[in-house]
Amino acid sequence: MFMKKETKISFKHFLEKFPKVKLPITLSDDSHHDFSQHNPPLPALMIEQFLIPLESNEIDEFTEYIPCFRLPKTEKIHAIVYWKAALLNYEYVLLTFDKKGTFIDKQIIAGTKTKDNALIRSVATIDEDWIIYMAGGVAPTNDETNYDAASTHTINLELLANGKIIHSN
């Protein structure tokens, strides 16, 4: 009788799916198209091993993950961004890990979602100092051209050298 050997992917191999980018970089509604054209998709086993355990919401078989990039010049940590597409919810997620691959922190930094008949959109720019400038707003889902500028809000986050993501307003 043979036992099925559990396949485990190395953290290093997982990180290789996220190319380092030059900062600053901006994430908008359409940025994931560029990433999906240049970065191969994450294998299901990588998603199961490294991303799903960190999810707070239930995942279905239609949820899609696209590796976007890894932040450069991170000496004590690894910081990656991926795009997650679920039903009516699209998110750019920043994850941080220590050098051994232990999870440190997680933050949604941009995306689009629907809530209470409204479309909530946010964009983010990550600068050379790991400051993340986020701006978002709301439009009615039945009329995307009727954006209310008064609904715009901004948030600044900072990625610290220890991998923690903090508000820096």
**pLDDT above 90: percentage of residues in the chain:** 64
Which pLDDT score is estimated for 142? 61
pLDDT digits (tens, 9 = 90+) for 108-131: 999 999 888 888 899 999 999 999
Q: Return the bridge partners of 123, or none.
A: 135
Convert the pLDDT of each residue in 25-62 to its tens digit: 999 988 888 898 999 889 999 999 999 999 877 777 88
- pTM of the entire structure? 0.89
Burial of residue 11 (number of CB atoms within 10 Å: 0-12, 13-18, 19+): middle
Helix (H, G, I), strand (E, B) or coil at 45: helix
Pairwise CA distance, residues 47 & 45, whole Å: 5
Q: Which residue has the tokens 């995306």?
A: 111
90: buried, middle or exposed (CB in 10 Å: 19+, 13-18, 0-12)? Answer: middle
Q: Decide: 84 and 95 in contact? Cβ < 8 Å.
A: no
Cα dihedral sign, 28-110-153-160:
negative
Q: What are phi and psi of 6, to 5 degrees?
A: -75, 125
74: number of Cβ within 10 Å: 18
